Amino acid sequence: MSTQAQTMVRVSVVARKLGLHPITVRRWIKAGKIAAVQIGREARIPMSQIDRLLGEQPGAAIVLYGRVSGYDQKKDLDTQLLTLKAWAEQPPVAL
């Protein structure tokens, strides 16, 4: 068995690892969002595609948004922003 064949997985495995429905994965393959190889009637996806979708994207940004109703709630806004910044600085949770 070649190395390439060992790194190819079924749609159901990809769906489970990404937390998606298998139909969604098939739609993404059809739309070109995920590269796949047809083997008979089945699509097999390289593990590198899963890594690409789960990994950090270069140049990615997190946008934080906090708001209050009025100027008199500025202290609440500061608290919100501190909480949002603390959340954004936490390391990502592995699936």
Q: Which of 16, 15, 17 is nearest to 27 (CA)?
A: 15
User: What pLDDT was estimated at residue 90?
Assistant: 82
The pLDDT value recorded for residue 6 is: 61
**Which tokens is 86 given?**
């603390």
**From CA 43, how far away is CA 46, in angstroms rounded?**
10
Residues of the chain whose pLDDT is less than 70? Answer: 1-6, 56-60, 92-95
